[in-house]
Structure 1
Amino acid sequence: MALAKDQDFVPETEWPSVSVMLDGFGQPSLPPSDALAGTSLRIDDEKGVSCDYAFRDATSLEWTYGTSRGHSSYKAVEARPGIFIIDFVRGEDLATESITIIFDRNTGAVTHAISRFVEADGRVRATTGFSHANPEGGSVHERSDALVGKRIFYRYSDIETYEHVYLNRGTFTWHCLRGGEAGLADTDRCAAWQVTDDLFIFFWTEKVMTVEAVLLVDLKHQRSIGRMFGWDDTLATTLVLPFDSRLSVLNTTVYPEDHTKG
């Protein structure tokens, strides 16, 4: 690709602020769903704290987290029939939390992700806790290695494109080909869980910028849907960026048969 050939290494000191991505991401391609209105979910977080969510209508919910209660606006997208990705935000400033729920009505499996800010080495960083459950007693979303070896091209808008290279179950490389982060690339921690055939929950966290991302990668329908959550040090503000993309699998690496020998 000509754009990649024109790029070069960009030292961390020259990286823009995380908010540079805000203008480049396009409008969602799937509409919000009202299918969860009038229903509720009870899920424990990764520490075993009970979380109750009552979806009052198509856009508002009430939540109970341990002894705390509140209400928030939410967005649910039906990524596949009966499979929802639900996002909402509660709190303000450094107490902000971004919650993503992937709920499969077909099987009962639920994955619950809460991203929060923490302080580490004098910097604001983020962390995401995951829990996996099935209130109906069935199977849960399991870790997957199905993305390993794939190189995928993501079109977030007409002006924002990235590629991902999935190196192993917990490590991937991202590279911005076009957009606000053009030329930037890094290798970061990630994880994937399988929801159903060719549909995966994907998480990544960045070590340079304060960014946590939770999304669905749908290889069958060639799209991703999710959100980024982060902190902009320059503006001292939170970043919550919903996005979706069209994707293309560029190739899949197949290693020589002798790669495990010796």
Structure 2
Amino acid sequence: MTSTELQDYIPQDQWPPVSAMLDGFGDQTLPASPALAGTTVRLPAEDGSTTEYGFEDASSLTWRVSGRVANQSGTATYKAIEARPGIFIIDFVLGQGVAAENVTIVLDHNTGAVTAGVSRFVTVDGKTRSTTEFIHSNTFGSAAVHGRSTGLVGKRIFYRYSDVETYEHIYLNPGTFTWNCIRGGEAGLADTDRCMTWDVADNLYIFFWTEKVMTVEAVLLVDLREQRSIGRMFGWDDPAAEPVILPFNSRLSVLNTTEYPQDTHKH
């Protein structure tokens, strides 16, 4: 019997805390790139403000938000991974506790397109929940940005985050997917949640999901050509009352792609 045949439905009140994934996922193993040192990325937002990230060296950056009532600035430690030549996924955390924010930027030096996802905590009905805001821009000043994608729809993909953590995703439509933990700290857990996908390059996608049971926001690159994903999960551990920040990379296999029958007769 496979592990999935031994598992059964698990009621929500029996789910473990989000920190149950921490030990099994381990450390992100892909190397950091120093290629962005000495460069600056400016992102204008729809509200008229501009966020500027200056990469001081291979791991330190400064940030500044201008154009709002109160300008803000600060420093952070970042990691940049070159997912493909000229295409970077950059990740860093600002603040602490319930005020923490996880910023993930996908920057394509080939096209100038850049997408920034900022995940933070909010209070809803007295509970700590999470939300993510996305900004799409172009460092070349052109109109080319990462556009919404249907490239994952219909695919069933198996993700190996470590030797002990494996999941599958089933992409139902551009805004909905199902995840299922095959093995690991969440074994037997499954749900259907909101997602969004954007095109970056051929068979390379930004993928975002947010969970309705656990307080989790995930932003990652799914690379079908290189058969890997790179990204992070940002969540809130209720029992410990603290953020859970989980950078990861995985090996993936496309299990199948669903093709619906083209009905030619009306009944």
What TM-score, normalized to structure 1?
0.97
Partner of 1:207, secondary structure, is coil
- Mapped to 2, the partners of 1:210 and 1:259 lie a distance apart of 44
Tell me if structure 1 keeps the 8 A contact 2:27–2:247. Answer: no
Give the equivalent residue in structure 2 for 1:100. 104
- Mapped to 1, the partners of 2:52 and 2:199 lie a distance apart of 24
Partner of 2:117, secondary structure, is strand
* 1:5 and 2:5 correspond: yes
Tell me if structure 2 keeps the 8 A contact 1:108–1:138. Answer: no
- Mapped to 1, the partners of 2:198 and 2:226 lie a distance apart of 17
Paired residue for 2:136, among 116, 123, 132?
Answer: 132
Quote the offset at 1:258 in angstroms: 1.6
Q: Superposition pairs for residues 174-185 of structure 1, below 5 Å?
A: 174-185=179-190
Distance 1:228-1:76 versus aligned 2 partners, 3 A rule: same
Partner of 2:32, secondary structure, is coil
- Mapped to 1, the partners of 2:99 and 2:147 lie a distance apart of 30
Partner of 1:21, secondary structure, is helix
Amino acid at match of 2:93: V
Partner of 2:23, secondary structure, is helix
What do the CA deviations read for 1:155-191 (whole angstroms, capped 9, x no partner)? 0000000000000000000000000000000000000
Quote the offset at 1:29 in angstroms: 3.6
What TM-score, normalized to structure 2?
0.95
Give the equivalent residue in structure 2 for 1:253. 258
Distance 1:258-1:39 versus aligned 2 partners, 3 A rule: same
Q: Superposition pairs for residues 27-46 of structure 1, below 5 Å?
A: 27-45=27-45
Aligned-residue CA RMSD (Å):
1.4
Paired residue for 1:186, among 162, 185, 191?
Answer: 191
What do the CA deviations read for 1:76-120 (whole angstroms, capped 9, x no partner)? 000000000000011111111100000000110000110011011
Higher deviation after alignment, 135-144 or 75-84: 135-144
Count of residue correspondences: 262
Where do 5+ consecutive residues of structure 2 fail to align?
none
Where do 5+ consecutive residues of structure 1 fail to align?
none
Q: Superposition pairs for residues 1-262 of structure 1, below 5 Å?
A: 2-45=2-45, 47-66=47-66, 67-136=71-140, 137-258=142-263
Q: How high is the sequence identity, in percent, across the aligned residues? A: 64
